Amino acid sequence: MVFDLDMIKRVYSTLPGRIDAARKLLNRPLTLAEKILYGHLFEGEPKQIYERGKAYVNFAPDRVAMQDATAQMALLQFMMAGKDRVAVPSSVHCDHLIQAKVGAETDLKYAIDVNREVYDFMESASKKYGIGFWKPGAGIIHQVVLENYAFPGGMMIGTDSHTPNAGGLGMVAIGVGGADAVDVMVGMPWELLFPKLIGVKLTGKLSGWTSPKDVILKVAGLLTVKGGTGYIVEYFGPGAREISATGKATICNMGAEIGATTSTFGYDDMMSEYLRITGREEIADMADEIKQYLTGDREAYENPETYFDKVIEINLSELEPHVNGPFSPDRAWPISQLAKAVKENDWPEKVEVGLIGSCTNSSYEDITRAASVAQQAIDKKLKVQADFTITPGSEQIRQTIERDGYIDIFKKIGGKVLANACGPCIGQWARADVGDRKNTIVTSFNRNFAKRNDGNPNTHSFVTSPELVTALAIAGKLTFNPLTDTLINEDGEKVKLQEPKGMLYPPKGFEVKDRGLIPPVENGKDIRIAIDPKSERLQKLEPFEPWDGKNITGMRVLIKAKGKCTTDHISPAGPWLKFRGHLDNISNNLLIGAVNAFNGRTNAVKNLLTGEYGPVPEVARAYKAKGIPTIVVGDENYGEGSSREHAAMEPRHLGVRVVLARSFARIHETNLKKQGILAITFADPADYDKVREDDTVDVIDLVDFAPKKQLTLVLQPWCCAMPTAAKIRLKRIILTMTIK
């Protein structure tokens, strides 16, 4: 089934001309990323050259996708715009609010019941404003987008950091906050710092236990969680053309873990095949006609050092399977080195749970490769040593793998099939009997920060491919290497797991009786959206007070966050997801996971009004009640991880005026600025150490703020105004106030 065909036709009718104009303007060959960016300028045909990493540019994305945990706030903001209908094709996907506990059917029924108020709100808002609504159980946003909406050469934004998954079909797909999504849905330009480019040349061919997941696990190890910030990662080369479209999507999906703006691949035969097998022959035919515009120019790929800012080359024939973790997705371990790392770091060797699926790895190829390993456990009489769960990415995948017998294989080894939802990947997991004890789990997910999956800070979470997760679950040991090691079966015999085998596509085609979609309504003007003023789940938004044009003075230091501070630390998910549509209630989780640099504790900061320590939200509310502004100080890559704009709206709601960090993750920095918070960085990162717990902070030259001009902050103790107050010079930034 083809969605939004008229829109895609319009894109393909204008894209070649715009790309030709850009090539003439730059007077050189173009990468794919450049073609899509210059082909989607809000102004239309390109008229000027934009400097990478310097120019802020207005774009016109083709579509918007929103998952339910972020869609609530995005829809509440859209309602304030006074529009009758969205300006571009948009969709809402109910995937985050379903908690994994018993199993797919029971968990889905419970979620629909407990979240009925929120689901009804999003469904009615979607109908009113012409938005497609994917019901609970339809699947995870990124898998559904790949199967139904993604198209080569397109540009989309989504209110989830793993939106780049659509790069598997040659899109520039970028994760954003809800306010950015609203800009596009009301027809305004969408602003982005023109990205720099990283080219990843893939040679050789994957084989054996090595999978597409290992490509991005390797890249994460090379670039770290912040090495891709401000860059689009473009994969090319003979090895890239051998990877399936869903394999490409896996690589692009987890590009979020290196901070990349997005990742993408040039259009090829694998993409054409996937479009056709998923019922989108018309799109494949149109793409084939202009395929030279849907990939980088030959010269750019032959001489990548000339056209990319950075270049990495990976020989897939030599690439080892990887396992990354714990606590950070860039701690990359080739399987041959993992056992040694486990012993040297005293990580728990016993694997307690293996979890496969999620938006990163739930394709038919992924499932069949994992099932081939599971079948070996049955055939070789191996007792599976760990608990095992399977999360299908969409109802289409679930129905197809059930029809083809793969769910039965997993159940025979004790596997539990969970709902077509995010579940444990985002902390929606009612894991029993774990407490806070030290333990190890292995997943095919994308993110493994502390507390991420089950709320336990001592759960050592490792990410790898689905087939390797299955092997490690069978062995029950993190030190097991299926390439070299043997296992003892129930008969006492030594047996070895053979390399996984899988299929790219189902021989009988995909099967889906009900996709779970409520299509956009043509005219929703008469549809009423009701929000109970007494609701604990939903709350209408009121505009924040605009800046008064004066310097910000008298700020108290709410917290100085030490070390890794992701959006999970700033606004945790898990049980807090139920308040994602109620700004005041969810603000009670503000920064409760951040480590206070002054005492090494979480959720314990000094209230200078009383001299006592208290929870971060409580202290923030105390300052707000007295009209005292606050500042948050962050470490490196502050706000990495999820795109959740709640991590920016909550501090604004509770009176934070400035966030000062050594460096920011891209999406969070943008979200802070969109909500009217001054997001600034130290000119000298070492000045982080000068900020004291009892300081009051003044921005003394904000009234003269301008591009290429630094700001000055004056810090002085709360007790008195010292003439020796420390002064910190800050990098030039562009200040973006909240849209009114």
**Active-site residue list:** 95-96, 160, 447, 642, 644
| Helix H or strand E segment including 322 | strand 322-324
Question: What is the SS3 assignment for 571?
Answer: coil
Query: Cis before residue 326, ω within 30 degrees of 0?
Result: yes
Cα dihedral 644, 649, 650, 656 in deg (nearest 10): 130
Select from 633, 638, 686, 636 the least CA-distant residue to 659.
633
3-state percent helix, strand, coil for the chain, nearest multiple of 5: 35, 20, 45
Identify whether the C-beta of residue 119 lies closer than 8 Å to the C-beta of residue 136: yes
Longest CA span, the chain: 80
- The residues facing 713 across adjacent strands are 699, 728
| CA 391 – CA 139 distance, rounded (Å) | 10
Q: Which two tokens stand for residue 260?
A: 């990349």
| CA 299 – CA 610 distance, rounded (Å) | 66
DSSP result, 670-716: HHHHHTT-EEEEBSSGGGGGG--TTEEEEE-SGGG--TT---EEEEE
| CA 188 – CA 171 distance, rounded (Å) | 21
Amino acid present at 183 = D
8-state DSSP, 638: B
| CA 679 – CA 699 distance, rounded (Å) | 12
| CA 295 – CA 236 distance, rounded (Å) | 9
Dihedral sign, Cα of residue 249, residue 255, residue 256, residue 261: negative
8-state DSSP, 424: G
Burial class (CB in 10 A: 0-12, 13-18, 19+), 226: middle
Helix 178-185 crosses helix 666-674 at what angle (to 10 degrees)?
Answer: 70
Q: Which residue has the tokens 């210059």?
A: 38
